Amino acid sequence: MLRSCRRAGPYISLLTKKGRTIMSDFQYDLLIIGAGPGGYEAAFYAQELGMKVAVVEKDKVGGTCLNRGCIPTKALMHSSDVYRDTAHGAEVGVEVEGLHANRKRIGERKDEVLDTLRGGISGLLKKKKIDVLEGTATISGENTVVITNSVGGTAVVTADKIMVATGSMPFMPPIPGSDLPGVIDSTELLDMGAEEIPEFVIIGGGVIGIEFATIYADLGDHVTVIEGMDRLLPVIDKEIGRSIKMTLEKKGVDVHVSSPVQKIEQKAAARGIANLRSPAKKQPCQQTVRCLRLL
């Protein structure tokens, strides 16, 4: 693959494993902003194609999925699964005395899993000679990115192609009271390890809400899920939403559907106690659900 260069200047010539030559007058053929699964997989692929690649990351390698998404939730779920199965072991003749969920250890193990996997991705990037540039990237020109690190240092990097793989941010719905103490998003919840939440209300019966409801209910907390649409998992097949509702209810989760939350209020002086009202669409009643934490 021989590409023409659009600018005069010092040429960096790369001879790839397959003997193809790439010539570029930029520091990199491809600069990827964001080292989440989108960014690092693209980097591996581009490197395989013989490009000189760098990834810019302002936080931790692995992005949302590894650091505050898919992986930490699955690590917590593994612990809560084992706890639930053991707690119900007597039904199949396996009795355990003094069973106890060590919430601190569950949180620590989750962090250990993340460290190991993060090390794996960093190791692969290093092995493939993909540069990881730490800092926040700002595209300042067609081929130029300015990177600012946490202590204010800056570097200007040039690349033939720039790929934006910056992911997304947690969305806080515009419900009055959502800025009250005790109202948290999924990132803050994961930062709490697996701390006990005796009364936990989750607004939103999508995949993430249901995953957290399952984890905390299996660990023994009282969980309420409130969904504005007429079923859980509203974007997936109807039957699945109904079946998940039954599964959650068997675990002791209170599930409210057709219940758009109107507002969140702090009613008592106790830490983080919030009340919310969720009038069901068909029966326009007002309902208040008490909680210690609200996701």
Among 51, 130, 137, 253, binds ligand FAD (CB under 6 A): 137
Among 208, 255, 291, 295, binds ligand FAD (CB under 6 A): 208
Contacts of 163 (CB under 8 A, 6+ apart): 30, 31, 32, 33, 39, 42
Beta carbon nearer to ligand FAD, 4 or 168 = 168
Choices 24-32, 54-62, 118-126, 228-236; region in contact with ligand FAD by CB under 6 A? 54-62
213 lies in the site for ligand FAD, by CB under 6 A: no
Burial class from Cβ neighbours inside 10 Å (0-12, 13-18, 19+) for residue 193 reads middle
First to last CA, the chain: 50
Beta carbon nearer to ligand FAD, 22 or 145 = 145
Contacts of 62 (CB under 8 A, 6+ apart): 35, 36, 37, 40, 71, 114, 117, 118, 121
Q: Using alpha carbons only, what angle is made at residue 103 by residues 97 and 109, rounded to the nearest 5 degrees? A: 105
24 lies in the site for ligand FAD, by CB under 6 A: no
193 lies in the site for ligand FAD, by CB under 6 A: no
CA separation for the pair 103, 194 (Å, rounded)? 5
204 lies in the site for ligand FAD, by CB under 6 A: no
Choices 112-120, 165-173, 218-226, 256-264; region in contact with ligand FAD by CB under 6 A? 165-173
Task: Report the interface residues with ligand FAD, using CB under 6 A.
Answer: 33-39, 56-59, 63-65, 68-70, 73, 136-137, 165-168, 186, 208
